[in-house]
Amino acid sequence: MKIIDGKQIAADTRARIKEETSLLIEKTGVTPGLAVILVGDDPASAVYVRNKSKDCAEVGFKSFEHILPASTTQEELEALVKNLNADSSVHGILCQLPLPKHLDERAVINLIDPKKDVDAFHPENVGRIMIGEYDFLPCTPAGVMELIHSTGISVGGKKCVVVGRSNIVGKPMAMLLLHENGTVTVCHSRTKDLKAETLQADILVAAVGKAKLIGADMVKDGAVVIDVGMNRDENGKLCGDVDFEAVKDKASYITPVPGGVGPMTRAMLMQNTLTAYKLAMNLE
Task: Answer yes or no: same fold for 29-113 and 139-262.
Answer: yes
pLDDT at 48: 85
Strands (E), the chain: 2-3, 33-39, 62-68, 92-95, 159-163, 183-187, 203-206, 224-227, 231-232, 238-239, 253-254
d(CA 72, CA 27): 40
CB 75 within 8 A of CB 261: no
CB-based contacts of 54, cutoff 8 Å, min separation 6: none
**Nearest alpha-carbon partner for 219 in 192, 255, 249:** 249
Report whether CATH 3.40.50.300 matches the domain 29-113.
no
**For the chain, percent of residues with pLDDT exceeding 90:** 95
CATH number among 3.40.50.1100, 3.30.1440.10, 3.40.50.720, 3.40.50.2020, domain 139-262: 3.40.50.720
* 133-136 CB contacts, 8 Å cutoff, 24+ apart: 135/275, 135/276, 135/279, 135/284, 136/272, 136/275, 136/276
Global confidence as pTM: 0.96
Q: Which residues are designated catalytic?
A: 52, 96, 119
d(CA 276, CA 284): 9
Domain edges within the chain: 29-113, 139-262
Q: Is the pLDDT of residue 23 over 90?
A: yes
pLDDT single digits (tens) 123-153: 999 999 999 999 999 999 999 999 999 999 9
- Starting at the earlier edge strand, list the strands of the sheet with 253-254: 2-3, 253-254, 224-227, 203-206, 159-163, 183-187
pLDDT at 42: 83
